[in-house]
């Protein structure tokens, strides 16, 4: 069964509840359209995580191919329907991103992992859940992200709720048996500190899609996982209450005072 055919809550849908229940409900019948940036992200994932699958899923268009010409139309007609095409410039981006990740000194974090693995589990609330892990081993998993600017990545990680996603994946991987928090060593043979150290760990690999194609490997600390866990539990509880009542409110359900940003005020607090 394909991942999108599994009837279960996933993080991409659940995080919409943070915008509003209305947004979640809207997207159930109005899926977000595909974009060139989404296509590029998928291709980068494939090139890095499943390089043996790349040529069967993607094809790079010749640099001077014009799809409006007879030759261009003939070339496009020969492309299988299940293969996605990318312009030559994006092919270079994929090549540079892949090389950047492969030469990073911490690349061994990605080695000896299973790639693109589906986790399914039932949350303690009874809700069926699923997640698609980029790379997972017995004690850790890795999520691959492409980004515009690595210098802003940590700020963007908070903005895009990556901590919620990583907590969702971590808990799902453990509950589905893909990962374990237990040590192989008998408790009596562990130091006291080791007995209380989480054995499962989450990492993010972020790579720029523009020059100089910088790459960073980030360990997700326990406090971030806890914050992410609180976030997804709050959103899941909200979703359950909206589902049971079949009420999907927007952001502002009561009369609200308009608050202008600080940058719109002068030193005395007057608006200008």
Which residues span the domain enclosing 58?
A: 34-103
168 and 44, same structural domain? no
Is residue 28 a part of any domain in this protein? no
Evaluated on CA atoms 128, 133, 139, 145, the torsion sign reads negative
The pTM assigned to this predicted structure is 0.86
Tens digit of each residue's pLDDT (9 = 90 or more) over 167-192: 999 999 999 999 987 544 444 444 44
> Domain with 165 in it: what CATH number?
3.90.320.10
Residue 216: other Cβ atoms inside 10 A:
19
pLDDT tens, residue by residue, 118-132: 999 999 999 999 999
Q: Is residue 126 part of a domain?
A: yes
pLDDT tens, position by position, 102-111: 999 999 999 9
């Amino acid at each position: 069964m394909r991942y999108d055919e599994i009837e279960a809550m996933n993080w991409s849908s659940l995080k919409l509840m943070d915008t509003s229940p209305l947004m979640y409900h809207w997207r159930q019948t109005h899926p977000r359209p595909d974009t060139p940036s989404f296509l590029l992200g998928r291709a980068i994932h494939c090139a890095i995580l499943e390089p043996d699958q790349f040529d069967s899923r993607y094809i790079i268009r010749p640099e001077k191919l014009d799809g409006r010409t007879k030759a261009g139309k003939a070339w496009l007609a020969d492309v299988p329907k299940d293969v996605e095409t990318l312009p030559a410039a994006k092919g270079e981006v994929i090549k540079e991103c892949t090389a950047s990740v492969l030469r990073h000194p911490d690349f061994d974090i990605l080695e000896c992992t299973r790639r693109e693995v589906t986790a399914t589990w039932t949350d303690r609330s009874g809700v069926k859940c699923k997640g698609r892990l980029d790379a997972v081993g017995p004690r850790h998993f890795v999520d691959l992200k492409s980004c515009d600017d690595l210098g802003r990545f940590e700020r963007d990680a908070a903005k895009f709720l990556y901590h919620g996603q990583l907590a969702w994946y971590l808990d799902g991987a453990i509950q589905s048996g893909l990962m374990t928090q237990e040590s192989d060593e008998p408790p009596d043979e562990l130091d006291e500190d080791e007995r209380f150290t989480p054995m499962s760990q989450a990492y993010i690999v972020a790579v720029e899609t523009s020059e100089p194609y910088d790459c960073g490997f980030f360990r997700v600390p326990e406090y971030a996982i806890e914050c992410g866990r609180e976030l997804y539990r709050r959103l899941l509880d909200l979703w359950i209450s909206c589902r049971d009542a079949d009420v999907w409110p927007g952001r502002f359900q009561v009369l609200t005072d308009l608050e202008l940003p600080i940058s719109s005020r002068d030193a005395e607090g007057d608006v200008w």
